[in-house]
Amino acid sequence: MLGNWIGGFFGSILWMLFPSSSRERSIRLSVLVVLILAVSVASLAFREVRINLPGSSQFTRGSTGPLGLKLGLDLRGGGHLVYQADTATRVEVVFGEALTAKQIVDAANEIQIPISVKSKGNNAFGITSDSLDEPTRERLKKGLEDKFESLQTFQAIETPAPTPDQMEGVLDIINRRVNAFGTEEPIIQTIGDDRIIVQLPGATGSITRVIFSEPVEREDVLTVLVRQELPFTSLDQENSRAYRIKSNTLGSAQKSELEAELARQLGVVIESFQVTSGIDEAKALIGQTALLEFKERTCLDPFCVEYQDSEIGLTGDDLERADPVVDSTGVGWSISIQFNDRGSEIFSDLTRRIVGVESKRIAIILDDEQLLAPVARAWIRDGRSEITGNFTREEVRTRSIQLDSGRLPVPLKIIQESDVDALLGAESLKKSLMAGVIGLGLVMIYMVAYYRMAGLVAAVSLVVYSLIVLAIFKMIPITLTLSHIGGFILSIGMAVDANVLIFERMKEEVRIGRTLASSMEVGFNRAWPAIRDGNVSTLITCIVLIWFGDRLGGGLITGFAISLMIGVLASMFTAVVVSRNLLQLLAWIGLGRRINLFTPERLRRAGDAAVGGS
């Protein structure tokens, strides 16, 4: 049924594209334009578009922005963080005399090694610098020795560049932490070898933690918030007395008012009232190194739904490696883990105690979340064991990476950050929508004033153009940022240019005495190579920009280039198909004889003169 329909659809497109006469082609193309326009309008008219594809999953598009467009952080507010694996050299130094951090920095500066130094008390300092190679480290050591003879300890720790698996592990950890933080639609992805982009819509703002002295109903807290007209986005109950409120950034006046009103209206005493910046909290959460723990689990029921975990002092630090391996049957997959000496001892002790005990498990927990809880099948003395189960290859791989990331924390540092408050985002959105409308309006007025009827055609095709581009933005879907809108508005200019080229050529043909209809045809054909070549070179620029985008300040330039590219492609379509057909339609319905409607008076006279002169 649907197959037939799809077949019919493509069939009709073919029929439209390969016509027999020019009039027929024109009619068919007009039908195509109307179809595309209808699809565009329909896709924009409904906030959410859902199509059930036969056999496969559902196609759903639509978001919270105007026309159901998806908005980027700068238009809706949020935090954009770029992390990089920190491949620093860290050196612990201890001196026998009292020194300041600055003295050490100066000493390193003298031998041209930029470092930063933190005092750790008792004449001990932590030195951090960009990754140093062996000779440079030696030079630093010697430099410090020469300067301060009392140097006692010099211990360097290298953090090597992370492997792809480690990066995947870090990505996984960030993913889980961000989900725990509770942001909607976060974007977390790696770029390059060692960078991770984290986008947290709505993370800018305040997080208020209130602990009341006695239990309070959630409903009541909610009522107070609403009555206070507090711009809050969520209210979470942590326990009967503790609540977490996410809201727009609160000013200090708002804070104290909120605290006072909560206490007054609910008639309770507030034990603790803490307001933190949402983005700082998210950063703190993301930036922690992962904590992998092994615990002894005692099941309280046969299915181990209820249990108690007890610490045995075994952590990710004791794990030497975790790898996916083919299990002993040669068919399934299992995870091989190996502990270091200390870990092996503890693990040996644990497995000896719990092997064969029905109610005991080994709980493996990463960041307070259970990864695995296997049963001990044997007493493992050498710290080498295999975790088996009905694992797929993919599961085994994921779990190994997770275990590894817990074992080997890859330190991250923020190298780029951009946060926009929600209110500011809304303002930018309003302004840029206005800019789009005004830009389009000015261009239309100019076109109509200059080219009359043809200008009107250009104006109509600009509207069609805008609708198509917006529909494409929604359907791909593209997350719109200010730079996308910039690119879009600029591409309006390009769309107009194509029309201008056609009309100028048309005018020339009218001047040499052709009828309007044939002027249109010839003018169009003459204008086409310039439109094509100009647009192709713009497309080349766009592609280069997208290609370099990641390395040119990231999303900003990519966004711009993508929307410009979509704009250029759509503008070629509207100029070639929409403007042309509209002009032809006008010519047929009889307006063709009234040439003065198409060219300005002053130019027509100039045209007459030119005809006369030739």
Partner 1 sequence: MIDIVGKRGWYFLISALIILPGLIALIIPPGWASGQSGLNPGIDFTSGSVLQVTFAAEVTEPQIMERMVQLGHSEALIQKTGNRSFFIRTKLLAEPEGDLISEREIVERDLEEFLTLERDKVKFDSVSPIIAGETVINAFYAVLAASVFILLYIWYAFRRVPKSYRYGVAAILALVHDVIIVIGVFSILGKVLNIEVNSMFIVGVLIVAGYSVNDTIVVFDRIRENTIRFPDRNLAALVNTSIMDTVGRSLNTSFTTLFVLLALLLMGGPSIRGLLLVVAIGAVAGTYSSIFIASQFIVIWDRGEFGKLIGRGRQATSATASLLMSLIGR
Q: Does 540 bind partner 1 (CB under 8 A)?
A: yes
Site for partner 1 in 66-105 (CB under 8 A): 74, 82, 84
The continuous run of DSSP H or E covering 196 comes out as strand 195-201
Size of the site for partner 1 (CB under 8 A): 81
With contacts defined by CB under 8 A, name the span among 40-48, 64-72, 136-144, 243-251 that binds partner 1.
Answer: 243-251
- Distance between CA atoms of residues 238 and 407, nearest Å: 30
Q: Do residues 448 and 459 touch, judged by C-beta distance below 8 A? A: yes
Give the number of residues written for the chain: 614
Site for partner 1 in 28-67 (CB under 8 A): none
Angle in degrees, CA 596, 600, 606, rounded to 5: 95
Closer residue to partner 1, CB minimum distance, 104 or 500 = 500
- Distance between CA atoms of residues 207 and 244, nearest Å: 7
Pairing of strands 319-326, 333-339: antiparallel
Closest CB 89 distance from partner 1, rounded Å: 15
Q: Does 509 bind partner 1 (CB under 8 A)?
A: no
Closer residue to partner 1, CB minimum distance, 143 or 559 = 559
Site for partner 1 in 326-365 (CB under 8 A): none
- Distance between CA atoms of residues 355 and 353, nearest Å: 6
With contacts defined by CB under 8 A, name the span among 149-157, 328-336, 389-397, 422-430 that binds partner 1.
Answer: 422-430
Closest CB 606 distance from partner 1, rounded Å: 10
- Distance between CA atoms of residues 57 and 217, nearest Å: 41
Q: Does 146 bind partner 1 (CB under 8 A)?
A: no
Site for partner 1 in 375-414 (CB under 8 A): 413-414
List, in order, residues 6 or more apart from 142 with CB less than 8 Å away.
none
Question: Residue 27 class from Cβ within 10 Å (0-12 exposed, 13-18 middle, 19+ buried)?
Answer: middle
Site for partner 1 in 486-505 (CB under 8 A): 486, 489-490, 492-494, 496-497, 500-501, 504
Closest CB 536 distance from partner 1, rounded Å: 6
Closer residue to partner 1, CB minimum distance, 196 or 557 = 557
Closer residue to partner 1, CB minimum distance, 404 or 419 = 419
* Single-letter amino acid, residue 398: T
Closest CB 496 distance from partner 1, rounded Å: 5
Closer residue to partner 1, CB minimum distance, 49 or 88 = 88
Closer residue to partner 1, CB minimum distance, 385 or 428 = 428
Closer residue to partner 1, CB minimum distance, 75 or 216 = 75
Closer residue to partner 1, CB minimum distance, 178 or 494 = 494
- Distance between CA atoms of residues 376 and 374, nearest Å: 6
- Cα–Cα distances (Å) from 521 to 29, 503, 524, 579, in that order, read 15, 11, 5, 12
With contacts defined by CB under 8 A, name the span among 266-274, 288-296, 310-318, 545-553 that binds partner 1.
Answer: 545-553
List, in order, residues 6 or more apart from 554 with CB less than 8 Å away.
82, 191, 197, 416
DSSP 205: S
List, in order, residues 6 or more apart from 181 with CB less than 8 Å away.
200, 203, 281, 282, 285
Site for partner 1 in 556-575 (CB under 8 A): 556-557, 560
The torsion of the CA quartet 276, 277, 280, 285, rounded to 10 degrees, works out to: 60
Q: Does 251 bind partner 1 (CB under 8 A)?
A: yes
Pairing of strands 412-420, 270-277: unpaired
- Distance between CA atoms of residues 291 and 186, nearest Å: 23
Q: Does 529 bind partner 1 (CB under 8 A)?
A: yes
Site for partner 1 in 215-234 (CB under 8 A): 231
Q: Does 530 bind partner 1 (CB under 8 A)?
A: yes
- Distance between CA atoms of residues 311 and 327, nearest Å: 29
Closest CB 427 distance from partner 1, rounded Å: 8
Q: x/- site string to partner 1, residues 177 to 216, per CB under 8 A?
A: ---------------------------xx-----------
Q: Does 533 bind partner 1 (CB under 8 A)?
A: yes
Q: x/- site string to partner 1, residues 425 to 464, per CB under 8 A?
A: --xx--xx-xxx-xxx-xx--xx--x--------------
Q: Does 117 bind partner 1 (CB under 8 A)?
A: no
Closer residue to partner 1, CB minimum distance, 389 or 554 = 554
Nearest to 348 by CA among 386, 321, 385: 385
- Distance between CA atoms of residues 371 and 352, nearest Å: 22
- Distance between CA atoms of residues 419 and 476, nearest Å: 25
Closer residue to partner 1, CB minimum distance, 164 or 493 = 493
With contacts defined by CB under 8 A, name the span among 101-109, 133-141, 161-169, 534-542 that binds partner 1.
Answer: 534-542
Closer residue to partner 1, CB minimum distance, 8 or 251 = 251
Closer residue to partner 1, CB minimum distance, 319 or 494 = 494
Q: Does 421 bind partner 1 (CB under 8 A)?
A: yes
Closer residue to partner 1, CB minimum distance, 45 or 449 = 449
Q: Does 137 bind partner 1 (CB under 8 A)?
A: no
- Distance between CA atoms of residues 539 and 529, nearest Å: 15
* Single-letter amino acid, residue 512: I
Per the listing, tokens 């006692």 go with: 152
Q: Does 259 bind partner 1 (CB under 8 A)?
A: no
DSSP for 266-283 reads HT--EEEEEEEEHHHHHH
